[in-house]
Structure 1
Amino acid sequence: MRAFKYSNVSDAAAAIKLVSANQTAKYLAGGTNLVDLMKEDVMRPTELVDVSRLKHARIEKKGDGISIGATATNASTANDENIRENYPLLSMAILAGASAQIRNMATNGGNLNQRTRCTYFYDVNMPCNKRAPGTGCGALHGVNKNHAIFGWSEKCVATYPSDMAVALAALDAVVQVEGINNTKRSIPFADFHRLPGDHPEKDNNLQQGEFITAIDLPANRLAEKSYYLKIRERSSYAFALVSVAAALATDDNTIKEVRIALGGVAHKPWRASVAERWLIGKQATEKNFRAAAAAELKSARPLAHNKYKVSLAAKAIVRALEGAMQGGLYGAMEADSTTTNKN
């Protein structure tokens, strides 16, 4: 780990001023991802600005919805009574991620800002446009069984790792951020993270120094039929090969509203809008779920080693929708590496 300056601040304005003035400064909250990357010499900030004690940890009602503070921990968010009752999809997704120890440290804002777990990104001896722009993408023609099937570019085929963010994408969350001189803006979750394009080094659309203060969840009628499915190679402390956040509202088994988001398949949480549009007005049947999943996966572009993700994602969408219709009991399916690695 390289030497860095540590700054402790008393309010968000002071933190924003420091990070805005230093292009290589980073916010530090739980540190569960950033510190690991510093130890691996992948990230080299010259200054860490500690925001873990700022007063942005409240989870409270906001209009008809709920606002969750950026410095609230993942654990406190998942176990909050209002979240569990009104947004169980978010609670399920958070509890599917990482380990209890990490969830007790990791913050909501930090979760959204975490970096990819691509092995080429973590290995400083390998080319990676995300880590070192212009060096190439080692995974594009390398070992890419865990990589993207949607939205990738020649510059990057990495996937975004968060479980929490997949649920937030399905719930149409809005990210509240504050910048220099007390400027504030609201970013719809669909616009927060980026596809790689020509600039894979940019994970999201935050400007230098902007600080996430809260994540707002609008009211919905999806709580009764919500389900988060995470398919992984082992049952704990593993990132998703494919994950699905699914939620529905029905009237006499006719689908009136549906939300589907996928994880483990793109550089950002992938909203399955094609499948959603296909299902509106249809009966909530396995046959229709399969047809909607097939329609969504038509645009998938698998790489040499991850063709299995196309069929896996289609089946996962069906299973997640069925789980939602059955009342949303949380389930996690362990994927056998001896079968999922076949193309």
Structure 2
Amino acid sequence: MRGSNRYAGAMFLYGPNSPAPDLTLAMQFLIDDLRFDGRRVDWVALKNGSLRLRLQGHELVLALTDSPLPPHAFQGVLRPRSSARPQTADAAQSGDGDAVPGRTDLARGRVLHTLRHHPFALSVLLRPRCMSDDERPDTALLSLVRECRALVEPVIEAAPPAAVIWQPGTVAFTCEEFLASRAESLIHPGDRDRPLQLTTEDERPRHRPNMRGAGSGQPAQAIALEAAAALPQMGEPSSETALAVADTPDDIASASRNDRAARRSAGHLFGKRDAQDRPVTLPRPHRADARLAEAMRAGPSPQEVAEARARQRRLNLARVANVTTIAVWYSIYFKPFVSLF
């Protein structure tokens, strides 16, 4: 792999009201998932707003930026093409706005809002530790993207972002779009016909709404109350729905691992008895095929089996030769020497 094929990664951008990402929690989720997959973590370093992990064949780096990125850092950021975009709630409501210019793309607007108003960002970079020249570049890139796509999932669970800028390709997704995308769609290039135009604050037009009536001098609070009164009133929930919600257990109501981790105390880190009741990690079916392929590759190849058998035959012949040499030496030297006494 050469050039941009030597790495894969993402830039996580968080909304204005989102809390700062917790790298310690992200590290715990990453190590839990790696242990669940039976993979070994060789080295971990968490310091100064960065996290580095070395695992089998790869190195993962997370770096936290506690300030907004400058606008020129987002030059060349694209949106995914309509054919490669996953079907999400925003796409269903907007009717796939990139395909029809007259409609509004809600996901595109949310990505632009996050690019302009994010308070901090988290960058994730994955690179292979050993390069294989025998593997084709496209196959190696797809394998690296699959690995990075699987490793960023626990990071998203620990600190859900508002937007994700994927590399290579510099394609911006919402968090929902990214989680619905597979590795095969992440390697597709973005839509260069409609790039994201991120203007500066001085160039953005500002049109304030008319908060007063047309020449009536009515205050803004009264207009807001009248608008709220004109909205349709939502009906009360039925008793069956209320009972169903009330009977729902807490573990089912908040099934995300982030919520479960928030309810656990710090004492679980020290091997107390309550730590045995911790729920298992979330299932990841898309990693099952990779684990099966790795398990099948772990067996010895036919060439290695043939070499081991030949080595064993040579050792057996050497043992027979040694025993024969000892017997001849005993019959020639040791036996006449004993007969003298």
Name whichever structure is richer in helix by fraction. 2
Q: TM-score, normalised by structure 2?
A: 0.27
Name whichever structure is richer in strand by fraction. 1
| Structure of greater Rg | 2
